Structure 1
Amino acid sequence: MRLARVLSAACCAAALWAGSAAAEGRPDPASAARAASAQLEKAALELQGAVDARDRVKALTETIRAYEAGLEAMRDGLRRAAMREAQLSRKLQAREGEIAQLMGVLLTIETAPPPVLMLHPQGPLGSARSGMILAEVTPALNTQAQRLREDLDEVQTLRLLQQNAAKTLEEGLAGVQQARSALSQAIADRTDLPRRFTADPVRTAILISSTETLDGFASGLAEITDEEIPESHADITTRKGQLALPVQGVILHRAGEADAAGIKRAGIVVAARPRALVTAPAPATIRYRGPLLDLGNVVILEPQPDMLIILSGLAEVYGEAGQVIPEGTPVGLMGGEVPEIGAILSLSGDGTGTERSETLYIEVREGGSPVDPETWFRTDKDG
Structure 2
Amino acid sequence: MTHRLALLLLLIWSTPLRAAQEDPASAALAAMHQLEAATVALEEAESARDRVRAYTNTIRAYETGLAAMREGLRRAATREVELTRRLSAQEGELAQLLGVLLTIETAPTPVLMLHPTGALGSARSGMMLADVTPELQARAAAMRQNLEEVQTLRLLQKNAVRTLNDAMASMQQARAGLSMAIADRTGLPSRFTEDPVRTAILIASTETLAGFASGLSEIASGDIAGMMASISDQKGSIDLPVQGAVLHGAGKADAAGIARDGILVATRPRALVTAPTAATIRYLGPLLDLGNVVILEPQPDTLFVLSGLAEVFGKVGEVVPAGTPIGLMGGEAPQIGAFLSLSGEGNGPERSETLYIEVREGDSPVDPETWFRTDKDG
Question: Could you state the TM-score of these two structures normalised by the residue count of structure 1?
Answer: 0.87
- Equivalent residue number for residue 287 of structure 1: 282
What's the offset of the Cα at 1:336?
0.3
Paired residues for 1:1-383 under 5 Å: 28-106=23-101, 114=111, 118-119=115-116, 130-380=125-375
**Structure 1: any 5+ residue segments left out of the alignment?**
1-25
Alpha-carbon separation, structure 2, partners of 1:115 and 1:298:
84
Alpha-carbon separation, structure 1, partners of 2:47 and 2:102:
69
1:118 aligned counterpart, secondary structure:
coil
Alpha-carbon separation, structure 2, partners of 1:198 and 1:119:
105
Alpha-carbon separation, structure 1, partners of 2:376 and 2:30:
29
1:231 aligned counterpart, secondary structure:
coil
Q: Deviations over 1:330-351 (max 9, x none)?
A: 0000000001111111222111
2:360 aligned counterpart, secondary structure:
strand
Q: 1:320 to 1:164 in 2, by over 3 A?
A: same
The answer as to whether partners of 2:245 and 2:267 remain within 8 angstroms in 1 is yes
Q: Deviations over 1:152-171 (max 9, x none)?
A: 11111110111111110011
Alpha-carbon separation, structure 2, partners of 1:368 and 1:183:
35
Alpha-carbon separation, structure 1, partners of 2:193 and 2:166:
41
Alpha-carbon separation, structure 1, partners of 2:219 and 2:346:
45
Alpha-carbon separation, structure 1, partners of 2:114 and 2:229:
90
The answer as to whether partners of 2:115 and 2:121 remain within 8 angstroms in 1 is no
Q: Deviations over 1:58-83 (max 9, x none)?
A: 11111111111111111111111111
Alpha-carbon separation, structure 2, partners of 1:377 and 1:194:
26
1:252 aligned counterpart, secondary structure:
strand
What's the offset of the Cα at 1:35?
1.4
What amino acid is aligned across from residue 297 of structure 1 in structure 2? N
Q: Deviations over 1:64-107 (max 9, x none)?
A: 11111111111111111111111110110111132233235446
Alpha-carbon separation, structure 2, partners of 1:66 and 1:166:
19
Q: Which moved more, 1:315-324 or 1:28-37?
A: 28-37
Q: 1:240 to 1:69 in 2, by over 3 A?
A: same
What amino acid is aligned across from residue 310 of structure 1 in structure 2? V
- Structure label with greater radius of gyration: 1
What's the offset of the Cα at 1:27?
5.2
What's the offset of the Cα at 1:126?
7.6
What's the offset of the Cα at 1:187?
0.7
Alpha-carbon separation, structure 1, partners of 2:174 and 2:101:
61
Moved over 3 A (4+): 103-117, 123-133
Question: Between Structure 1 and Structure 2, how many residues are aligned?
Answer: 356
What's the offset of the Cα at 1:131?
4.1
Identity %: 69
1:155 aligned counterpart, secondary structure:
helix
Say what the alpha-carbon RMSD is for the aligned residues: 2.3
Q: 1:372 to 1:124 in 2, by over 3 A?
A: farther
**Structure 2: any 5+ residue segments left out of the alignment?**
1-20
Alpha-carbon separation, structure 1, partners of 2:114 and 2:204:
97
Alpha-carbon separation, structure 1, partners of 2:74 and 2:365:
39
What's the offset of the Cα at 1:226?
3.6
Q: Deviations over 1:98-122 (max 9, x none)?
A: 22332354466566994997247xx
Q: 1:125 to 1:208 in 2, by over 3 A?
A: farther
Q: Which moved more, 1:327-336 or 1:97-106?
A: 97-106
